[in-house]
Structure 1
Amino acid sequence: MLSVERYNLILELIKQKKNIRLNEIVEELKISEATARRDLNFLEAKKKIKRVHGGAVLVDTKEEDIDYKKLINIEEKEIIAKKAIEHIEDGQTIYLDAGSTTGAMIKYLSKFKDLKVVTNGYHYINDLLKLKNIEVYILGGKLKEKTGAIVGVTALLMLKNFNFDISFLGTNGVDKDGYSTPDPEEVIVKSEAVKRGKKVFFLCDHTKFFNKTFINFAKLNDGVLISDTNIPEELENK
């Protein structure tokens, strides 16, 4: 079993029970006590759980950091990324949001010619610069260290100067009221990126269906949802 799979299974167990003992993890996952301890140490370092004597309890965090996001739902993100690039054509200008799902698209952009890519994803600059076929523009503004996103009014003002053939955005949740995120400073950037795109695609794996976080940045009919699985009728663009 891959370590990422174990992390997800441990988190699911803790979510169900609210707290869990080390021996329960060993029995449920059929792993050694040493492996269980290492996994719990990793999850605690990522502030997903809190270690207590003999086990762990769940920590309710508003938003995971980018390093953790890259580790979870990897297969789902690959499916979404491959679907998303089908909408890109040579010579286009695209916006890539700072999310880990949009980041999964980057390695597939090498197949296109003369792309211009604008992003607020600080963590993805090095990956983008390795692609010799594109021009890369990064927004300036406040760096949100936890997620690697550049946010706030300064980023918004810069974003207003661009026009995109396609805007690709991630989301923390989607329900009947639209797409949402925990951070108000990120909302103003996401909302403007939606306005600047001729076409807009929201990239969202099935685990975020019917989740509602702090503030909405777009309505369902502002773009098309791309996911790793069939999209529930309640979440379709109508």
Structure 2
Amino acid sequence: MSAEQPVFAEERQQKILAMVNAQGRVRIAELVTLLKVSEPTIRKDLSALEEQRLVRRTHGGAIATHSQVERTIDARSDLHGAAKDMIAKACLQEIGPGDSIFLDSGTTVQRIADQLDQVHVNVLTNALGVASALADKPKVRHTLLGGSVRALGGTVVGPVAVETLSRFTVNTAFISASGFTEEGVSVADVAEAQVKQAVVERARRVVLALDSSKFGVQDFVTVCPLDRIDVVVTEAVYDDVRAICADHGVELKVV
């Protein structure tokens, strides 16, 4: 039995590593169920993988050490669609008549724009899809930032966009991200991150709208620490995420 145990451990760790690389993160609870071993065994496996710098341990699981491969906006738009619709609907409750808001280029935030037609608001955006969705809504005044068009994200980015943002102040910024850990909010692209960083600086309040698949994922570039986020709106949450939000004074809304 003792001679076979290392083989079993190695095979199990390879399965764990494959899951992390495919999903960006794994949770101990799901590994216990999937691999039919105890929680201490999974923790040992994750520690062994971390020692090899193949994964990084987090509260309740592990994340990939490499950044996520960025998908096109069309490829992302239908992922977790039901969750994104619920999150967008909840975000609408954060908007009041006469508000000035920023909507970024995330596919969850795009759904806020799709549903935003009940109140008179001023919208600032760097997202081509958001601007298009608001074009025929008479109650919504919207301004599209100038700058360089980034086709992969359907966004306007670059120094012109960042400089233009400095002229505006909004009540609430609705932003998205591809990663959320205790270290902060992250995305795959530097130019996208720079615009989001500028938005965070110009907003009185920042609402992070993201589905639960982003929790535990650390992407290429950090946008801001969690202390700069006021509210997180999501459809499902784990206890470790609740604890992280509480530690950083972030209001958590689960829909």
Please give the TM-score of this superposition, normalised by the length of structure 1: 0.73
Q: Deviations over 1:148-196 (max 9, x none)?
A: 0111111100011110010000001000011001111111110010111
| Superposed displacement of residue 230, structure 1 | 3.0
User: Helix, strand or coil: the match of 2:102?
Assistant: strand
CA distance in 2, matches of 1:140, 1:130: 20
2:69–2:188 Cα contact (<8 Å) kept: yes
Moved more, 97-106 or 60-69: 60-69
Query: RMSD of the TM alignment (CA)?
Result: 2.0
**Correspondence for 1:233:** 242
**Correspondence for 2:92:** 85
CA distance in 1, matches of 2:114, 2:104: 15
1:172–1:208 Cα contact (<8 Å) kept: yes
| Superposed displacement of residue 103, structure 1 | 0.3
Q: 2:119 aligns with which of 103, 112, 115?
A: 112
| Superposed displacement of residue 61, structure 1 | 6.2
Q: Deviations over 1:19-64 (max 9, x none)?
A: 9xxxxxxxxxxxxxxxxxxxxxxxxxxxxxxxxxxxxxxxx96211
CA distance in 2, matches of 1:117, 1:215: 26
**Correspondence for 1:152:** 158
Gap regions ≥5 residues in structure 2: 1-17, 23-66, 250-255
2:68–2:220 Cα contact (<8 Å) kept: no
Gap regions ≥5 residues in structure 1: 1-14, 20-59
| Superposed displacement of residue 219, structure 1 | 1.1
1:121-160 aligned within 5 A: 121-160=127-166
Aligned residues: 183
Q: 1:74 aligns with which of 58, 81, 97?
A: 81
2:180–2:186 Cα contact (<8 Å) kept: yes
| Identity across matched positions, percent | 25
**Correspondence for 2:69:** 62
User: Helix, strand or coil: the match of 1:125?
Assistant: helix
